[in-house]
Amino acid sequence: MKNYFITGTDTEIGKTFATCALIHAITARGIKVAPMKPIAAGTINLNGSDINEDVAVLMSAAGNSFAISDVNPYCFREGIAPHIAARHEGRPIDIDVIRAAYKRLCSSSDMVLVEGAGGYSVPMSDTESMADIPKWLELDVILVVGMRIGCINHATLTADAIRTRGLKLAGWIANTPAAQMAAYEENLATLKRVIAAPLLGTIPRVPASYLISALDATRLAVKHLDVVSII
């Protein structure tokens, strides 16, 4: 079974949301999925501990069955660009730490879904970027496209950058994190033409009136995904 790196056209476009929906959809097929968010910036206080919100949501989508130190080896306090947060805390990111945590998750699950931070080329240091993670961990990539104006440009550049690094784009998801964009169907048709990879699903905005929690919303999104090609 393959493991995947989940990237997106930007920050706040639904990478975590789509990853949780993937976790639910794949888990429903009897496959044990481990989430990983190797680098996170920004914490909230949850029951007395500082934790990154994405990490908390991903962990609970996967039934809280993995060690947080493996799911999230690097958690920086400030919600800023990770390489700057790492510099402020004097804690440079070491890929060997990430690789060791990833291997532990691999040995305790059937599939690992690794969520990046921000967009595909966000720096990790002055010399390395988030895009090095799928390269180092030998992961195929899933691209979450946040359906809003500008997404065709972001999606095309990201898909090109993935292929330029010799990585495989295994599929993409069209997610609507906010109001439905104007000319949605035409934008979707254009994206299908320019992204040469399977569309795993189109997730509409789950209306706030249905939301009990962000996690419940991701459960509602499962019916919009087809995971057959990635499991």
Ligand X SMILES: Nc1ncnc2c1ncn2[C@@H]1O[C@H](COP(=O)(O)OP(=O)(O)O)[C@@H](O)[C@H]1O
Binding residues (CB under 6 A) for ligand X: these are: 8, 11-17, 54, 175-177, 203, 205-206, 214, 217, 221
37 is catalytic: yes
Among 9, 16, 43, 52, indicate the residue that binds Mg ion (CB under 5 A).
Answer: 16
Residue 11 vs 64, nearer CB to ligand X: 11
Least distance to ligand X from the beta carbon of 18, Å? 7
Widest CA span of the chain, in angstroms?
48
Q: Which tokens in the block code for residue 195?
A: 């992204």
In whole angstroms, the minimum distance from the beta carbon of 6 to ligand X comes to 9
Q: Minimum distance between the CB of residue 223 and ligand X, rounded to whole angstroms? A: 12
Contact between 175 and Mg ion by CB under 5 A: the answer reads no
Choose, by CB under 5 A, the member of 54, 72, 82, 142 that binds Mg ion: 54
Dihedral through CA 152, CA 55, CA 74, CA 115, nearest 10? -30
Q: Which residues of this protein are in contact with Mg ion, per CB under 5 A?
A: 15-16, 54
- Positions annotated as catalytic residues are 37
